Each structure stands twice: as structure tokens, then as C-alpha cells.
Structure 1
Amino acid sequence: MRLTLWDILAIMVTLALVLVSVIFLQIFIDPYSPMNPFPPETLPAPIQLPTPTNTPRVLPATWTPTPLYGGITTLRPSSTSFPTATGFVLATATNTPTRTPTPTSTPTKTLTPTKTKVPTNTPVPPTATSTNTAVAYP
């Protein structure tokens, strides 16, 4: 089997295709790589605007009395009560029969009718300022 000119050219084209594919993939993954003939511009740094945050107030430093003349001050122990036993009882489950409620009768109130006065229609006397005049139109 003998290699011809066309076989050598096919091998060279295949190797060139693989090489170009690797370069293309490298540029696609990292556009800032030195193999890229047209690298993108570098982006400017983002602007850091101040945010409206709460500034907590700082309390002044507390003053602790220092012993005079470099002496050591020891505090007397405070008196605390001694522990005492606190008794308690745990509830236990028992088998007690449940009771059914017995019906009870409750007294009901009866309403008694009361006599109310019925309003009557009393005529209102006409006032001195009102006049009943009829107007005739021709």
C-alpha cells in the first residue's frame, strides 16, 4: 500500500482542522487569552455607591475604679441563697371510666306583655307666619 499525494493532503487537512478547532475552543473559553487576535475591552470597575445604612451610636467607655498605689482590690463575695428541693409530681396515665353528661333542665324566662301607649295623630295648629293663598294663573 502506497501513500499518494491525496492521502498526505487529507492527513494535513485533518490535522489543521483539529488545530483550528482547539484554538477556537481556547478563545471561546477564555476570550482574554493571548491567542485571541481581537480581545474584548476590559470592563471598568463597578461604581461603589454609599448605601443608606444605620450608623449605630457608640456608648462612651466606662470608667472602672483603679486601686490606689498599685494595690490589689478584692471584692467580697455576695451572699446567695442555698439551693432548696423543689417538689413536683408527674402525671401518670390511669384507666378511669369516662362519664357521660346527664341532661339538666334550665329554667326559662317567660315574657309578660306590658301596656304601651299608642301615639295619636294630633293636628298641628298653623303658625301665624304661614299664609294659604291660592294663585290663579290666566
Structure 2
Amino acid sequence: MAESVRFSRRHLWVARFGAAFRLGVSDFLQRAVPDSHFVELTPRPGDRCAAGQPIGLIASGRSDYELRMPVSAEVTAVNEDLLWTFGAINADPYGAGWIAEGWFLDPAEYDALMDVDTYDDYTRDWARR
């Protein structure tokens, strides 16, 4: 079970499991890019990614959205099932639609992400724009 979940300003969630994590797109983002028809994930297990580094793309009939790593990390797993069942991002963004897992390189970056209440306020403000 995740110790806690935090969110990036680019609408990715990060669930913490000690020094490890799992990440995916938020429900807010999956609603913004409905009917995903293509997912590209660029990191591979063993890759080190900096916070803010592009890690993939979600394409839908409405728009494309570049995914960026929310924390500096060593990737240990990528959800390759999304390459064939990309609809999981829309159907189950916090479960089967996860994107990657890894080890934190700088745990303080996780602490700087938004908690659930702050993210809810952020998305309300963002949706009003």
C-alpha cells in the first residue's frame, strides 16, 4: 500500500512506497485527453531521469500531451501493457493505467509535489481559466 500520493503541476500522480514509487496520469488529465489512442513511453528499466525530463506522450483524438518525469529517478519498470491497452489510462488511471515505477534519486522532490487537497484546489483553479 502506498504511504502517500502526491501530484505534479503537469497532472501526474506519484505514489510513494518507502524509497520506491509508481506514477501515472491523474484523473483530471485523463479527462482532458479522453479516448487515448496512442501511448509512447521512452524510459526503460535502468534509465535515470531528471525531474522535468520528457518520458512519453499520450495522443487522443482531441490533443496530444507530453508526459514529464515529476521527480528525479532511476526507472525500474515501465507499464508496457499501455502500448497495447492504452485505454487503461482512461479506464483506470490510478490502477492498470500506471506509467512507470522506480527509485527516488532525491526524495525531497517528492515532498515538494502537491498533496491531494492542494492538487484539488489547483485543478479547480486551472479549469476556470
Superposed pair shares fold, TM > 0.5 = no
Task: Give me the TM-score of the superposition, normalised by structure 2.
Answer: 0.13
Task: Give me the TM-score of the superposition, normalised by structure 1.
Answer: 0.13
Higher RCO (C-alpha under 8 Å, 6+ residues apart): 2
Q: Is the radius of gyration larger for structure 1 or structure 2? A: 1
More helix by share: 2
